[in-house]
């Protein structure tokens, strides 16, 4: 291991499964002390146990990111316990399905409470804690926020907001050496995408839309987050990096 995050303290929200869990594991492999946030205790315990079994350093906190005070207090507690916060990964998200004409206002708002508000609260608190020593904030958007996805209008709008909010945060944080970047996943094989990849026909249909002709893995996404969290990306801020097998660069297939 190269220990690219040696002596760094990192928080990963939505860390109990999928992209968040893979990110926590990779960061710990590279030397970070990682605290994973999530709403479900048993999966969080499993992630921490996996990291510990590999010789890494990790802990967890049961946190609902949509509850502002609880979330902010949990971030403060991590910084107090470990003496600092170097990396903040805002990965937690919420979404609803449904057509626009049938969508209730409550369902529309449900897409924003965790995805946008949580990203704002996490970024704001991290920036406050990083004023003296700098740090890296990585926010997770989605290809839905780049092109929009039918039946997921609220989620698409929320993820677009995450991307543009992060650009503004990068501009404000730059003078304090606080970097803020965005990773934009395409189709990544996780529990959240299991439904759309449930059989070989569905998987092949999805793969046809991707120039690399396959879906991505959570570890491939986590590697991009790791790079942005590390000092290797020390002159990169305000960037939006797609991790999607080339789909966002292929406008024809992206619009199909």
The residues annotated as belonging to the active site are 155
Please spell the DSSP secondary structure of 15-33, one letter per residue: TTSHHHHHHHHHHHHTT-E
Whether residue 134 contacts residue 81, with contact meaning beta carbons closer than 8 Å, is answered with no
Rounded to whole angstroms, how far apart are CA atoms 30 and 173?
A: 25
The pairing of beta strand 135-140 with beta strand 87-90: parallel
Cβ contact 51:59 at 8 Å: no
Taking Cα atoms as reference points, which of 47, 64, 68 lies closest to residue 123? 68
Q: How far is CA 152 from CA 22, 101, 136, 146, 159, in A?
A: 25, 12, 30, 13, 11
Query: How far is residue 135 CA from its own chain's centroid?
Result: 16
Q: At what angle do helices 18-29 and 41-53 cross, to 10 degrees?
A: 30
CA distance 44 to 201: 33
d(C-alpha 39, C-alpha 149), whole Å:
27
- Widest Cα–Cα separation across the chain: 53
CA atoms of 187 and 178, how far apart (whole Å): 29
């Amino acid at each position: 291991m190269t220990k690219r995050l040696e002596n760094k303290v990192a928080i990963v929200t939505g860390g109990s499964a999928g992209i968040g869990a893979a990110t926590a594991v990779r960061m710990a492999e590279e030397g970070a002390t990682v605290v994973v946030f999530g709403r479900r205790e048993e999966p969080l315990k499993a992630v921490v146990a996996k990291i510990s079994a590999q010789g890494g350093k990790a802990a967890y906190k049961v946190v609902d990111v949509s509850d502002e005070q609880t979330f902010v207090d949990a971030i403060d507690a991590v910084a107090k316990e470990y003496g600092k916060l170097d990396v903040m990964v805002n990965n937690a998200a919420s979404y609803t399905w449904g057509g626009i004409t049938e969508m209730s206002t409550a369902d529309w708002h449900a897409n924003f409470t965790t995805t946008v508000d949580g990203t704002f609260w996490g970024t704001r608190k991290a920036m406050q804690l990083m004023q003296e020593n700098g740090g890296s904030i990585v926010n997770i958007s989605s290809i839905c926020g780049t092109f929009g996805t039918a039946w997921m209008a609220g989620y698409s709008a929320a993820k677009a907001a995450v991307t543009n909010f992060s650009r503004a945060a990068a501009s404000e944080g730059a003078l304090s050496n606080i970097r803020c970047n965005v990773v934009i996943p395409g189709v990544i094989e996780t529990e959240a995408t299991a439904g759309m990849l449930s059989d070989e026909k569905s998987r092949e249909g999805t793969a046809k839309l991707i120039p690399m002709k396959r879906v991505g893995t959570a570890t491939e996404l986590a590697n991009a987050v790791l790079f942005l969290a590390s000092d290797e990306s020390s002159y990169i801020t305000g960037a939006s990096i797609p991790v999607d097998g080339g789909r966002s660069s292929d406008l024809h297939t992206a619009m199909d």
